Structure 1
Amino acid sequence: MAAPLSRRDLEFLLYEWLDVEELTTRERFREHSRETFDAVLDLSEDLATKLFEPVNKLGDQNEPYVGDDGKVVLPDEVESGINEYVKAGLMAGSFDESLGGMQLPTVVNRASSAWFQAANAAMSSYAFLTAGNANLLAEYGSDEQIDTWVRPMVEGRFFGTMCLSEPQAGSSLADITTKAEPQADGTYRITGTKMWISAGDHELSENIVHLVLAKAPGGGPGVKGISLFVVPKYLADGTRNDVALVGLNHKMGNRATTNTLLNFGDGTHSPTTESGAVGYLVGEEHRGLSYMFKMMNEARIGVGFLATSLGYAGYQASLEYAKVRTQGRPVDQKDPTSKPVPIIEHADVKRMLLAQKSYVEGALALGLYCSKLVDIQQTSAGDDNARAGLLLDVLTPIAKSWPSQWCLEANSLAIQVHGGYGYTKEFDVEQYYRDNRLNPIHEGAHGIHGLDLLGRKVVMSGGAGLTLLTDTIGDTVERSSADPATAELGVQLRTAVDHLVATTATAWSTGDPAVALANATAYLEAAGHIVIAWMWLEQLLAVGDRTGDFYDGKRAAAQYFFRYELPKTRTQLDLVAALDRTTLDTDPAWF
């Protein structure tokens, strides 16, 4: 069985391109070295391939259910694998040493996590959500909340969730109805229903710490009235809080991650005479959504990594299959008695493998680049800090949505490479596709991120974010001009960037947001392709004149992306610039 990720590719991206060893010169990471980074990657690869990957099909085929005692039941192997992950200390990855963490750079921690996401997407999500929850509370929570809830999560004794969506509201958080009533003792009573809560109930940890968005009195309508609360499954004294599992959602993929409908304060487990689940306010009232965006933005990049990792696993599997599966003969071979050749010899199979390679390796580069921006922002001040933060803001909707779309396409191509076998449960690639199909939806669908990118990120502060992005890409293009092997690609990328800038201005030229944003998804897709082309040009510059199959493979994938993929942006940007009203003017009655 092929490894779900390429260790060689990770090492190239981390050390030969991003130079993550440079981070060890910064005070925060001074105790680390290439040796400690490699040790974490070794451990991650070992645990992921030995304890997570073998359980992937088991968890898929035995989805969670609620037992007669009302408790969620998962296969024992899922629990034991997660326990070993916790024992290894990997939950503590990037947390401060003062919290019991390893204080790893985010970029190295993300590379570690990618092994588990590729090996078993569903099992990895429990840790992914817990880390995001704990990061938010570590920044915005009180000292008491950090001691009570964050430290046990870093230790892996408690797990965490984020509770945003509601059955009637979906992604429209302005329409949530969950309420929070203040109490004399400083706590709140939370009442309402939350839907699509991943890891919302299970028996994998001592406690589950829910971060819940709710509306407290006096906040006014819309998102400005939203506050954020810690609502644990068990209170600090061990009393069961009034958080009730209503049911489990039965999913197409990612089945070993429980996905729940939860009631808060319906009286099922009431710990007090007052109705409502006990909640603890995080920060100030009515600022909950701004706090939650820290976890949401972290989760968006994490979703991009999850999509990338699943796409990568499918690519690795289809590559291995293409090398050993014999079928057909070259088109110029006329002798029917000659032996069939491995299908990797056929041009169209190479096309599908190159497409996958260009998608997954380009997406992995983007995710790691964004992760290093987090490290730079965390360890810098002044202009460097502001620049890293602004560039990360602009790239986040792309880092979430582009891998979710195109690494899913990589999974589709992996099935195609397998032929009919790929459509059967005997091979892994059909599960990778099902598991990955969630990622274009959760943490904001493409349409939402298109609106975010074109409606906010590229126009905020007078277009400062777009200017920074184009200037940064321009620096790469400038460096590419010194070598004829990359200069031509740099010219193509510069042309595409100029087209993006001009289209942005045209989209907003009417001053009508409805018209400007009608084709925001096409804008998002085009911007994403341009950014991935930038990632490939960056990789080519890191390759330089090095020789060998690995580097030649990088050159081939980059060439594929620039010739087959980047030209697609012209049509998409022309559509946006045309201010096309097809979707706006279509009457719902016509469907």
Structure 2
Amino acid sequence: MSLRPTLDFLLYDWLDAESLSQRERFSDHSRETFDAVLDTCERIAREKYAPANRIVDTQEPHFDGEKVVLPQATHDAHKAFVESGMMSAAQDYDIGGMQLPYTLQAAANSFFAMASVSIGSNMLTSGNANLLMVHGTEMQKEVFAKNEFSGRWAGTMCLSEPQAGSSLSDVATRAVPDGDDYQGDPLGPRYRLIGNKMWISAGDHELTENIVHIVLAKIPDANGKLVPGTRGISLFIVPKWLVNVENPHPGPLPQAGEGEAGSVKVTLGSRNDVALAGLNHKLGWRGTTNTLLNFGEGKYPVGGRAGAVGYLVGEPGKGLHCMFHMMNEARIGVGTAATMLGMAGYHASLDYAKTRPQGRLVKKAEQPGTAVVKDSASPQVRIIEHADVRRMLLAQKAYCEGALALELYCARLVDEQKTGNAQAADDARLLLEVLTPIAKSWPSEWCLEANSLAIQVHGGYGYTRDFPVEQYWRDNRLNMIHEGTHGIQAADLLGRKVLMEKGRGLQLLGGRITETIGHAAKVPALAAHAKALGAALQRIGSATEAAWSTGDPADALANAVPYMQAFGHTVLAWIWLDVARRALEIDAEKARAVTAGKIGATDYFFHYELPKIGAWLNVVESRDPTCTALPEDAF
């Protein structure tokens, strides 16, 4: 079963991605070039990623005392990805990019996530470089971002610490000015960092010449003390290998991989004081190196003294503001990874259900109320003919294809934000703010449930390593934690996103949902769903008001996760209703099976899933204190 027909429908028939080529930035492109990119990525994923998925799961990264060792399959897949140019696909021509719409880049990257998520599409490297393109100096862009986009260097995001976890206000890594070199370095104000970072994906490996760590740290005040909270957090570039810059007079950037920018020549110097303290061995994503890093412990002293050399990005004390650019991109990337793992399980279980014979169908009762009887003499049927298996398959389809539509819709908002008119760009920015917690959290929960259902469809075999679905579940379980837990996303949604700019983002989203309801209400097959979505939208609005009616954040946020679950289900119902409306609108003889699938998934979501929001919103509206009021010793 191929992913391509689903992608083609969502990209071209639903999101009208082809029309983006009419915009100046994308004017060199057409449906033909878009398809060529998708063809290339689909082929690389099939040939280099998918065959290695089990290999990277069983041959985990290990440290040989000098370096982290990865299987050759990882090196081969990474090399093929870099050579495809997809690392910088959406970037400007003058830094080696293709100026592709981000919508197309996101769609193309979905092939890699589905084929082997723990080899992946170098999400953190591109996110790291994109952050520097927004907040870095011209020299930082040329030296660091350019080499990341070319694939010569890799990038990481270093936030969490062993004692702090997701609580960034408790970051204890410190950065002090580096003596006489503080202001004179062409790469920016130079500091020395001392501290520890935990859960750093791709924190050490030999896939690239260098690794560019983006690190959150605090600059001590005049008394040498760290400022409590997030106000003192700054952001730094800390490369694994120090960088020499000759003739630092920026000119036009060369093509990716040449190593020079105008008259700027970049070479690698000595090892920076960043040491691998250990590898984390995880339930899933085993092919990705996950590390504990020590910064400035003195293992690799620079200039004869301890302290990792780092370069300030942006203004002092504004590190978290800069980092959110990368964090939000990574959250959508995690949502896409969760989606494609769910999709991989769905495809595997659908193929299995079509070929696995087991059991027999029930006979029609001779009299009403008599016991169920099966004809033991009849041949076995394929398990896809059993009602409960069909239910599980349809649930997976509704979760995974709906989530993919949501992720691509968010990618389309990125393109609108960058290339639309002023009003459209601002609306896209605000809609993306509101949808980002959903784009991360909803697939992480419900596409994980799809993986669980895929195991169930396989029966006992699904629990063994003879089939891939157990690995898909293990890989996907991380995504509810990755880049901000469920609780963090829920607090962000209810505590910040629906309130920001006096609720304008929520109003914008409500307007788009209402527009879809209006169109669908005129379609007989969808009219009942349109009515149900209207009621759900109204309930979300009243629940939001009820949650905040006391003005006490503790009251509102006590049930933030049920709120987010209901909000997410309402968003996905809207996505499915709009997809179904469009499918019926363009239906033709050759597309009827596809259209039937879209309508079936929509019917399933409205009949089986959307009604769940009532239970979730009941506790939100009543500000139910059950969980928060229970004494600790009662647990």
TM-score range, shorter chain: over 0.9
User: What is the Cα deviation at residue 588 of structure 1?
Assistant: 1.3
2:218 is matched with which residue: 210, 215, 225?
215
Q: Measure, in 2, the Cα distance between the counterparts of 1:426 and 1:384.
A: 50
Which of residues 146, 163, 183 is equivalent to 1:151?
146
Greater shift in the superposed pair: 419-428 or 480-489: 480-489
DSSP 3-state at the match of 1:426: coil
Residue 560 (str. 1) matches residue 604 (str. 2): yes
SS of the aligned residue for 2:204 comes to coil
Query: For 1:386 and 1:268, how far apart are their aligned partners in 2?
Result: 48
Which residue is equivalent to 1:549? 593
1:12 aligns with 2:56: no
Partner of residue 197, structure 2:
194
Q: Distance in 2 between matches of 1:426 and 1:397?
A: 35
Among 295, 298, 311, the residue aligned to 1:267: 298
For 1:138 and 1:445, locate their aligned partners in 2 and report how far apart those are by CA, in whole Å: 27
Shift of 1:84: 1.2
Quote the offset at 1:511 in angstroms: 1.0
1:297 maps to which residue? 328
Residue type at the aligned position of 1:226? I
Q: How does 1:62-101 map to 2 (within 5 A)?
A: 62-68=59-65, 70-101=66-97
User: Please, what TM-score do these two structures have when normalized by structure 2?
Assistant: 0.91
Identify unmatched segments of 5+ residues in structure 2: 184-189, 245-268, 364-372
Could you tell me which residue of structure 1 aligns to residue 400 of structure 2? 360
Match of 2:506 among 453, 462, 466: 466
Which of 231, 241, 263 is equivalent to 1:224? 231
Residues 470-500 of structure 1 show CA distances to partners (whole Å, capped at 9, x for unaligned) of: 1110011111122111121111000000000
Dislocated runs of 4+, deviation >6 Å = none
C-alpha contact (below 8 Å) 2:298/2:305 kept by paired residues? no
Q: CA deviation at 1:64?
A: 0.6
CA distance in structure 2 between the aligned counterparts of 1:267 and 1:308, rounded to whole angstroms: 42
Q: CA deviation at 1:116?
A: 0.2
2:488 is aligned to 448
> For residue 16 of structure 2, what is the amino acid of its counterpart?
D
Could you report, residue by residue, the CA deviation over 1:282-339 in whole angstroms, capped at 9, with x for unpaired residues? 1111101000000000000000000000000000000000000000011227431211
70-79 or 424-433, which deviates more: 70-79
Post-superposition Cα deviations, 1:433-475, rounded to whole Å, max 9, x if no partner, equal 0000000001111111110111111112221111111111001
Question: Which residue in 1 is equivalent to 2:627?
Answer: 583
Residue 134 in structure 1 maps to residue 141 in structure 2: no
Q: Which residue of structure 1 lines up, in the alignment, with residue 368 of structure 2? A: none
- State how 1:276-315 maps to structure 2 within 5 Å: 276-315=307-346
Query: Per the alignment, in what secondary structure is the counterpart of residue 633 of structure 2?
Result: helix
Separation of aligned partners in 2, 1:299 and 1:397: 11
Give the one of 14, 19, 39 matched to 1:42.
39
Q: Is the 8 A contact 2:297 2:306 kept in 1?
A: yes
Q: Which TM-score applies when normalising by structure 1?
A: 0.98
Tell me, yes or no, if the aligned pair for 2:362 and 2:375 is still in contact at 8 Å: no
Measure how far apart 1:381 and its partner are: 3.6
Q: Tell me the residue number matched to 2:241.
A: 234
Distance 2:421 2:602 in 1: 35
Q: Which residue of 2 aligns with 1:383?
A: 423
Partner letter of residue 164 of structure 2? A
SS at 2:478 equivalent: coil
Counterparts of 1:151-550 in structure 2, within 5 Å, are 151-183=146-178, 184-185=180-181, 186=183, 187-218=190-221, 220-237=227-244, 238-332=269-363, 334-545=374-585, 546=587, 547-550=591-594
> What whole-Å deviation, never above 9, does each CA across 1:122-149 have from its counterpart, x for those lacking one?
0015x11100001001111111111111
User: What code does the residue aligned with 2:416 have?
Assistant: I
Which stretch of structure 1 is more off in the superposition, 325-334 or 259-268? 325-334
Residue 484 of structure 1 aligns to a residue in which SS? Answer: coil
Structure 1 residue runs without a partner (length 5+): none
> For the residues of structure 1 that align with 2:213 and 2:595, how far apart are their CA atoms?
46
1: CA distance between counterparts of 2:94 and 2:412?
22
Deviation at 1:104, TM superposition (A): 1.1
